[in-house]
Structure 1
Amino acid sequence: MKQVLRKILSSAIVLAAFACGKDPFPGGGESNLEPVPPPDTLVTPRPDTSTTKKFFFGVNGHPLNQEAYATLSSGEQMSLLKSLGMNIYRVDFTVTSQGKIIPKQRFEKLRLAADSADITILPMLPDAKLDYNGTEEIAYQQGYDRGYGFAQENGNYFTYYNIGNELDNDCILPKKSGKVAEHYDSKKFKIIAAHLKGMDEGIKAVDPTAQTMVNASWMHYKYLQMLEQYGINYDIVAYHWYGEMETMASSTYNINDITQFLSTQFSKPIWLTEINIRNRTGEVSDQVQRDLLNTIIGKCKENPRVHAVIIYELFNEPVFNSIESYYGLYDWEQPYKKYKPKLWAAEQERKIAGL
């Protein structure tokens, strides 16, 4: 039966491609590469038992690959998320060219803890090191292999996949806003688009029910529209929005609510997958962070088109000695053994505890 299902799915994909006249590499000529065929065993579709839209509220973390998280158990991280009233954890993965997780053992502990706490893990599946002087065909196959391998090994654990991260910044031209196609390097864009198309199609060859998202930031919404025009069937618009963007969008473009603006540009669900202030030296007050987070979270919850908002990030990371050091909702009193909540987290903990 599984073999028959695979043949039916493969035939349907081929017929759909001919019927729509889709070139798998729009603007890039014909491909000489054969995509890896769908596996004999597909991921079992997950039934949708929900009767209303689920709103995801969560935080980013780096439990699989960064020092600030290495001494914390997976269970302790999940307890912190629960204390903040959160139900999703966006996690960046390190993978091989075939999508195999490194280190697998740490992920298994994280997955079991998340399952026990009823917290969804949103994997950020990183892109390959792209060769912008290479071909779209090679970029596509690299993406397909990563997506296919990752979903084949882990597809039963995930519904949502964040494919690539902030690749809009790799192809935006200097001093351009990103509002029109001419603001992007077309050669780099096509390599990126081919790669993301491969990741999306590799994942969905294994799990046709998967929901993929691509992220952008600032005024780079045109980049996401260009990806749609290229033929990438991603499902969710993911957006990164920081404090200076909130201020500049209002003063420069009269955009006072990025969620409402994105709702006019896309028909897809919208997720804000990174929000916070820029605290470059650690001197910005916790009150500023608290106020911005509450403002943006409030806008997201009031907009029915927005299905998720995710703060960046759970812990400060002093090891970097850079802008990355101060994004956390929790600060270290003794790295990496004793921590304390910043103002927003402390107030949220009291709210969730009913105090």
Structure 2
Amino acid sequence: MKQVLRKILSSAIMLAALACGKDPFPGGGESDLEPVPPPDTLVTPGPDTSTARKFFFGANGHPVTQAAYKALSAKEQLELIKSLGFNIYRIDIAVDENGYSKMHNRLMEFCRLADEMGIVLLPMLYHVQMDFDGFEQDSYESGYQRGRNFAAIYKDYFKYYNIANELDNRCILPKMSGTLSSHYDLKKFKIIAAHLKGMNDGIKSIDSEAETMVNASWMHYRYLLMLEDYGVNYDVVAYHWYDEMDKLAAKTYNIDDITQFLCTKFSKPIWFTEVNIRNTMGNVADDVQSAFLNKMYMKCKSNPQVKAMMVYELFNQPVFNSIESHYGLFTWTQRYKQYQPKLWAEEQIQRIAFSIP
């Protein structure tokens, strides 16, 4: 654990010991779109002590694929996850043709330690390169083998599988919102749908108790409904939601709570597997991020159909020199060696420390 984090934890624990109690910190659309009223209250996230409903609260990271994470040990990353009160870590996994992670030994270390620490790992299994001029059957078979091979190796370590990532963006037509089937390139969609059906079927041919999820973002919920119609029997709606989407949905569609809106479209459990602000140049104030994450957490936690929220992502990624560079809950003070929490993470660490008996 880095020195700055130790200081935060020590300070929070000292303050908790002096406190009298354990009070929590205060903390133009289509015709099928109906207004959704905003919630009345705002609370900041603390540890989940409910036994009636399991809610996954966590972060995204890239511990077996990207440079900002590879330099840090599994133990250090999972300790950070734990210090934030998180219980799930979504990680992307690139595999070879036999289904093995390209960093198998490191992945196994994460699986072992996560199990010991009570943290669920959610693998995001990459898809193969899409051949949009090919045949649906070929796309299905490549997806089936990919899913089956991966599950045959890792089924003892995972219950939930995120199959592919944001393929809705590969078939959406230019300047379309995604609310209608006509907003998608149907030829591309069928290739994608066949591949996802194959991945889903392949995983479940090995792991009959697996729960799979497919993700989409913005107003692309119709894509997920189209997948259902195609016969992709995924179990969980995974959604990505960022602050500019939140603002535009309210302005354009009168949707003030995306969690409530999605409940009108799906009966499946809903997981928000990516949530954050856009911070393209890295100059957005930390309190903007903090306010948005707190607001989204409250909406997710208050909605019984929503079972998870994951912040994208744990660390800034300066190597990309793009919008991806500034999403982190932690920023680097010395590249890939020393880091410090941004405002929301610092406050969350203190909230969790205060909850220690």
Q: Which TM-score band applies after superposition, normalised by the shorter structure?
A: 0.7 to 0.9
Distance 1:312 1:261 in 2: 22
In the TM superposition, what are the counterparts of 1:88-103 in structure 2 within 5 Å?
88-103=88-103
Aligned to 1:64: 64
The aligned amino acid for 2:120 is T
Other-structure match for 2:310: 310
- 1:232-243 → structure 2 map (5 Å cutoff): 232-243=232-243
- Give the drift of 1:51: 6.9
Equivalent position SS for 2:307:
strand
- Which TM-score applies when normalising by structure 1? 0.85
Structure 1: unaligned runs, 5 residues or longer = 1-49
Aligned residue identity for 2:269: P
- Cα deviations by residue, 1:6-52 (Å, 9 ceiling, x for unpaired): xxxxxxxxxxxxxxxxxxxxxxxxxxxxxxxxxxxxxxxxxxxx973
The CA distance in 1 between the partners of 2:149 and 2:51, in whole Å, is 32
- How many Å separate the matches in 2 of 1:71 and 1:142? 33
Aligned to 2:214: 214
Per the alignment, residue 172 of structure 1 pairs with 172
- Tell me if 1:143 matches 2:143: yes
Calculate the TM-score normalised by the size of structure 2.
0.85
Aligned counterparts of 1:135 and 1:100: Cα–Cα separation in 2 = 26
CA distance in 2 between partners of 1:71 and 1:222 (Å)? 40
Q: Counterpart in 1 of 2:12?
A: none
Displacement, 1:100?
1.7
Aligned residue runs from structure 1 range 1-355, under 5 A: 52-354=52-354
Larger mean Cα displacement after TM superposition, 96-105 or 283-292 = 96-105
Whole-Å Cα distance in 2 between the matches of residues 103 and 84 of structure 1?
A: 26
Q: Hey, what's the Cα distance between the residues in 2 that align with 1:85 and 1:111?
A: 18
- Give CA-to-partner distance per residue, 1:155-201, whole Å, 9 cap, x none: 01111000010000000000000000000000000000000000000
Runs of 4+ in 1 over 6 A off after TM superposition: none
Q: How far apart in 1 are the matches of 2:244 and 2:99?
A: 35
- Cα deviation, residue 352, structure 1: 0.3
Secondary structure class of the residue paired with 1:121: strand
SS in 1 for 2:304: coil
SS in structure 2 at match of 1:265: coil
Contact 1:272 1:309 in 2 (8 A): yes
Rounded to whole Å, the distance in 2 between the matches of 1:179 and 1:98 is 37
Question: In the aligned structure 1, how far is the partner of 2:241 from the partner of 2:103?
Answer: 30
* CA-CA distance at 1:53 after TM superposition: 2.9
Tell me how far apart the structure 2 counterparts of residues 322 and 251 of structure 1 sit (CA, whole Å): 27
Coordinate RMSD, CA, aligned: 1.1
Q: How many residues align?
A: 306
CA contact (8 A) 1:97 1:142 kept: no
CA distance in 1, matches of 2:97, 2:300: 36
CA deviation after TM superposition for structure 1 residue 98, in Å: 3.2
Answer whether contact 1:242 1:275 (CA < 8 A) is retained. Answer: yes
d(CA) in 2 for partners of 1:265, 1:199: 24
Q: Aligned AA for 2:152? A: Q
- C-alpha distance in 2 between matches for 1:166 and 1:311: 16
The answer to whether the 8 A contact 1:244-1:277 is kept is: yes
C-alpha separation in 1, matches of 2:53 and 2:125: 25
Q: Secondary structure at the match of 1:138?
A: helix
Shift of 1:241: 0.1
> What stretches of structure 2 of length at least 5 have no aligned partner?
1-49
The one-letter code matched in structure 1 to 2:111 is R
Q: What residue is the counterpart of 1:29 in the other structure? A: none
1:174 and 1:340 map into 2 onto residues whose CA distance is: 40
Instruction: Flag the 1:283–1:135 CA change in 2: closer, same or farther, 3 A.
Output: same
Indicate the structure whose relative CO is greater, using CA pairs within 8 Å and at least 6 residues apart: 2
Structure 2 CA distance for aligned equivalents of residues 277 and 288 of structure 1: 8
CA contact (8 A) 1:97 1:128 kept: no
State the AA in 2 paired with 1:317: Q
User: Which one-letter code corresponds to 2:133 in the other structure?
Assistant: N
Q: CA deviation at 1:109?
A: 1.1
Partner letter of residue 218 of structure 1? Answer: W
Cα distance between partner residues in 2 of 1:71 and 1:102: 16
Whole-angstrom distance in 2 between the partners of 1:232 and 1:201:
8
User: One-letter code of the match for 2:288?
Assistant: V
What is the identity, as a one-letter code, of the residue corresponding to 1:140? Y
